[in-house]
Chains A and B, each alone.
Chain A
Amino acid sequence: MSRWAKFALPLLLLLVLAAPAWTQEKPRNYGIGRAATPAEIAGWDIDVRPDGQGAPPGHGSVKAGEQVYMDKCAGCHGEFGESAGRWPALAQGKGTLATNDPVKTVGSYFPYVSVVFDYIRRAMPFGDSESLTNDELYAVTAYVLNLNDIVDDKFVLSKETWNQVKMPNRNGFYDDDRKTSEKAFWNASPCMKDCRGPVKITGHALAIDVTPDSKTQKHGVE
């Protein structure tokens, strides 16, 4: 054994043994926080995945859903899901995604039935969240699917029929590809001089005039 090893090994050992708690590999348990009980978890655990994991027991027909929808949804979303005013449209928009005026609805855009169900379950009706029964949830989801011609008038949505629903745009999404499709934006030495031809102004915000208070605000000087 070299003189270095004779000296260094015991020193290293000493350092390891003397290491304070915060250098340890194993995460420290601080003993802070308490166990969540199954009942507590059940009350808050409302998320539903595309595969149906998390969907509660219950069922609802398109017909039953129509009543729920007319009572609690149509005021904002319109009788046929076309939207009343500026609230989100739930239906129509088929074939518009690649146009200049895409209309993103349950039928035209949403990839999974869980997206509709989970969202209604947690956030709708607007201003009265988490108020629908499970059967009402299934029913109103079925009705919104029916408005989009995704299920027929006789359809009953439940955990059992969940996988029968085929959403038209389920293959419409792909993972973020900016690192390849926008690779050109990584450039170690961007142009500094004479980088382009003559510059023309092609659009004016003032011509569009949608900025709040732009006309009512006092001029810069009195």
Chain B
Amino acid sequence: MNKPPDTTRASRRKFLAGAAGIVAAGATAARADNAKNLPPNVADWTRNLGDGVGVRPYGHPSAFEKDVIRRTVPWLTATPESSVAFTPLHELDGIITPNGLCFERHHGGIAEVDPHDYRLMLHGMVDRPLIFTLEDLKRLPRVNKIYFLECAANTGMEWRGAQLNGCQYTHGMVHCVQYTGVPLKLLLEQAGLKPNAKWLLAEGGDAAAMTRSVPLAKALDDCMVAYRMNGEMLRPEQGYPARLVVPGWEGNLWVKWLRRIKIGDEPWYTREETSKYSDLMENGKARKFTFEMDAKSVITSPSPQAPVRAKGFTVISGLAWSGRGKVKRVDISLDGGRNWRTARIDGPVFDKACVRFYAEIEWNGETLLLQSRAMDETGYVQPSKNDLRKIRGVNSIYHNNGIQTWALKPSGEVENVEVG
């Protein structure tokens, strides 16, 4: 196609006006321009002084970005204290999630921990049971690492077919930030491990006293006790003042408001690693300790909450990640998986972190079935949803990393669809 992109407001209005009147939550509505701000006139913000320094001692996004927020699905859970609010992936770019937009998943509400009274207890099969204050943790050698964190239940509502219309809801239980903290190995060395130690129990100080068993080999490999995210102290929703970081493994293990680490020789089989976060297969048996998050990707724009507003040159943008290492490649398909082309990864590629990919296309207004497929450095290829279902059935809730399909319609609207 050779026609240049049509970007005038009037024709954009016409273009989307033919659609059925349903736009996903969070999709920004087009709005009439205010001629007095446009050339040749001089805008208000050019004529008048703005706020001085110090008026906004902790800066917030522009008031015009008010729709860039976490959202909930109220029918999903019995109570907001044990529920989830999703990252607005469709509004973000690059690989780093802003702290205030990182999805929330709590089991007993947000613990408001006074950092002065914060204590981390380390005991069990150790030579010296220890207690650290937050200041103690900050005095120890620290490292900075960028990791994704994905809830094992991300995309869990889609096992039986396309259900939620927006990548915020289908894929928004993932975020990616830079953590600052102490390598867990270093903390464990301070206490001294007994020779037959094999597992540890991480426990939160929240009203759920969240507990998960972590194999010691993982703890000694790359786990951290983090107290900062993206440079500032952890947000309360993310476990202020300290949380466990378990790179590449399911988010439930990343215990927030971490108050206790106990060393043992066997896993504890807590409620969260048996009755929850175990994957029920079709035969009625369940996989346990499915820690790694398999390679996964999603196109974040276009997506139901980020419709296409003009024909012509169009950038497809998405996120990919793998719990087994670095993302090596991302392919995209415009025809529901018949043909694939390799997308362009832009920005840094870190171990067990999100990568950003782009594919630039010319779009004529034809219906497209958009898909993305991530591959990681172990050779794992993100499977189709149907290939996953063939092995796992549809009851497992967790670890749904199947390929997502978005139908881009001639109106520019996008819908979450299932293809067969």
Does B286 interact with chain A (Cβ within 8 Å)?
yes
A-facing mask of B351-371, CB < 8 A → 1, else 0?
Answer: 000000000000000000100
Task: Give Cα A47 to B23, complex, Å.
Answer: 48
* Minimum CB distance partner of B266 in chain A: A49
Q: Is the CB of B418 within 8 A of A195?
A: no
Task: Give Cα A87 to B204, complex, Å.
Answer: 22
Does A202 interact with chain B (Cβ within 8 Å)?
yes
Q: Is the CB of A41 within 8 A of B29?
A: no
Task: Give Cα A58 to B161, complex, Å.
Answer: 49
Q: Which residues of A contact B307 (CB under 8 A)?
A: 220
Question: How far, in Å, is A211 (CB) from chain B's closest CB?
Answer: 4
Does A7 interact with chain B (Cβ within 8 Å)?
no
Does A165 interact with chain B (Cβ within 8 Å)?
no
Task: Give Cα A183 to B304, complex, Å.
Answer: 33
Does B274 interact with chain A (Cβ within 8 Å)?
yes
Does A86 interact with chain B (Cβ within 8 Å)?
yes
Q: Which of B121, B140, B287, B339 contacts A193 (CB 8 A)?
A: B339
Which A residues between 183 and 215 are near B, CB-CB below 8 angstroms?
184-188, 190-196, 199-206, 208, 210-215
Does B337 interact with chain A (Cβ within 8 Å)?
yes
A-facing mask of B387-412, CB < 8 A → 1, else 0?
Answer: 10001001100000000000100001
Q: Is the CB of B27 within 8 A of A187?
A: no
Task: Give Cα A116 to B129, complex, Å.
Answer: 28
Q: Is the CB of B420 within 8 A of A221?
A: no
* Minimum CB distance partner of B128 in chain A: A35
Q: Is the CB of A212 within 8 A of B74?
A: yes
Q: Which of A33, A50, A187, A202 contacts B131 (CB 8 A)?
A: A33
Q: Is the CB of B331 within 8 A of A190?
A: yes
Q: Is the CB of A173 within 8 A of B274?
A: yes
Given contacts A176-B290, A210-B163, are A192 and B340 in contact (CB under 8 A)?
Answer: yes
Does A112 interact with chain B (Cβ within 8 Å)?
yes
Does A175 interact with chain B (Cβ within 8 Å)?
yes
Task: Give Cα A182 to B12, complex, Å.
Answer: 46
Q: Is the CB of A34 within 8 A of B131?
A: yes
Does A129 interact with chain B (Cβ within 8 Å)?
yes
Q: Which residues of B contact A36 (CB under 8 A)?
A: 121-123, 129-131
Q: Which residues of B contact A138 (CB under 8 A)?
A: none
Does A16 interact with chain B (Cβ within 8 Å)?
no
Q: Which of B288, B336, B378 contacts A176 (CB 8 A)?
A: B288
Q: Which residues of B contact A213 (CB under 8 A)?
A: 25-26
Q: Which residues of B contact A98 (CB under 8 A)?
A: 282-284
Given contacts A36-B122, A36-B123, are A173 and B107 in contact (CB under 8 A)?
Answer: no
Does B189 interact with chain A (Cβ within 8 Å)?
yes
Which B residues between 105 and 122 are near A, CB-CB below 8 angstroms?
107-108, 121-122
Does B136 interact with chain A (Cβ within 8 Å)?
yes
Q: Is the CB of A211 within 8 A of B269?
A: no
Chain A residues touching B, majority SS: loop
Which B residues between 82 and 133 are near A, CB-CB below 8 angstroms?
82, 107-108, 121-123, 128-132
Task: Give Cα A58 to B150, complex, Å.
Answer: 40
Size class of the contact patch on chain A = 35 or more
* Minimum CB distance partner of B384 in chain A: A196
Question: How far, in Å, is B381 (CB) from chain A's closest CB?
Answer: 5
* Minimum CB distance partner of A177 in chain B: B287
Which A residues between 146 and 194 are near B, CB-CB below 8 angstroms?
172-178, 181-182, 184-188, 190-194
Q: Is the CB of A115 within 8 A of B275?
A: yes
Given contacts A114-B269, A211-B165, A218-B29, are A174 and B209 in contact (CB under 8 A)?
Answer: no
Given contacts A32-B190, A41-B129, A220-B309, are A102 and B280 in contact (CB under 8 A)?
Answer: yes
Question: How far, in Å, is B319 (CB) from chain A's closest CB?
Answer: 19
Q: Is the CB of A175 within 8 A of B380?
A: no
Q: Is the CB of B131 within 8 A of A190?
A: no
Q: Is the CB of B161 within 8 A of A203?
A: yes
Task: Give Cα A191 to B290, complex, Å.
Answer: 28
List 25 contacting pairs A-B, 8 Å CB cutoff, sorted by A: A27-B186, A47-B201, A49-B268, A87-B78, A97-B284, A97-B286, A102-B284, A129-B108, A176-B292, A185-B380, A187-B379, A192-B340, A193-B340, A199-B336, A199-B337, A204-B162, A212-B71, A214-B23, A214-B165, A217-B29, A218-B29, A220-B23, A221-B13, A221-B16, A221-B30
* In the A-B complex, the 6 residue pairs with the closest CB atoms: A98-B284, A203-B418, A199-B336, A27-B189, A97-B284, A213-B25
> Measuring CB to CB, which residues of chain B are less than 8 angstroms from any residue of chain A?
12-13, 16-17, 19, 21-27, 29-32, 71-75, 77-79, 81-82, 107-108, 121-123, 128-132, 136, 139-141, 161-166, 169, 186, 189-190, 201, 203, 207-209, 211, 259-260, 262, 264, 266, 268-271, 274-275, 278, 280, 282-292, 294, 304, 307, 309, 331, 335-341, 369, 373, 375, 378-383, 387, 391, 394-395, 407, 412-413, 415-420
